Homo-oligomer: A and B are copies of this chain.
Amino acid sequence: MATAPLPSRRRGTQTAESILDAAEACFARKGYAGTTLRDVADGVGIRIPSLYNHFANKEALYAAVLERGMTPVLEMLSRSVQQTDADYPAPALLIREMMELLGNRPNLPRLVQYELLAGGQHLAPLLESWLRPAIAQSLAMLQSTPAVNRWKPEQIPYLLVTFFNIVVGHFTTATLTENLTGSDPLSPTGIEASSAFYAEIFESLIQAIEPPGDSGD
C-alpha cells in the first residue's frame, strides 16, 4: 500500500533520477558532444521530448549530472580536510577513501576528465564553492607535514595536481592498464590494490627526505 500509486511527486523525481543515471553513463562514456538526447532517452526507456519535462535542455541536463555526481566527492573532500585536527595520516586516508568512492561511481572521473578537456567551464562553479576552500586547507595541511622540508611551497600545488591526475587517471586509463596488466583495475580487487599503491606513493612523497650525506650509498 505504501508503494502502490506512489505520490506523483515521487514518481516524477524518480524519472528525473533515471534520466540523470542514463545521462551520467552517456556523458561519461562519450562526452558532451558525443552524447545525443536519443542516447539518454533510450537509456531511460522514454521518448526524447519527455526529457524536457525534467530538464530545460541538454546543457542543463549535463550540468545537473555534473553537480549530482560531484557533490559526494566535494563533500568528502571538505569533510576530510576539516578533520585535519587528527594527527596526520589524513592524506593517505583521503586517497583511499577517494579511490573507494570513485570505484563505486567510475563514471565520475571520466566525467571530470571530459569536462577538464572541454575547459572545465561547468566545473568552475562547483569548485568555486567547494574545492577552493578545501584546497586552501589542504595546502595548509600539507605544509604541516614533514614534507615541508622537502618540497618548496610553490611545489605543493603541483603535488596536489599530481595526485589528482594519478587518481583520476587511474579510471580513465583503465582499458590501457587492463591491456597492460591483464587484470581489471576497476574491479574491487584492482581498486583495493591500487589505492594502497597510490597511498604508499603519497606517504613516501611527504616523508622528510634523507639529508643527503648521511648514511647514503
Contact = CB atoms under 8 A, between A and B. Distances in A.
Chain A interface, >50% SS class: helix
A104 interface: no
B117 A31 contact: yes
Q: Within the oligomer, what is the number of copies of this chain?
A: 4
Contacts of A116: 172-173, 175-176
Interface stretch (A3-11, A68-76, A201-209): A201-209
A169 B176 contact: no
A158 B164 CA distance: 16
A119 interface: yes
A154 to B, nearest CB: 7
A168 B116 CA distance: 13
Interface of A: 30-34, 110, 113-114, 116-120, 123, 135, 146, 154-155, 157-158, 160-162, 164-166, 168-170, 172-173, 175-177, 180-181, 194, 197-198, 201, 204-205, 207-210, 217
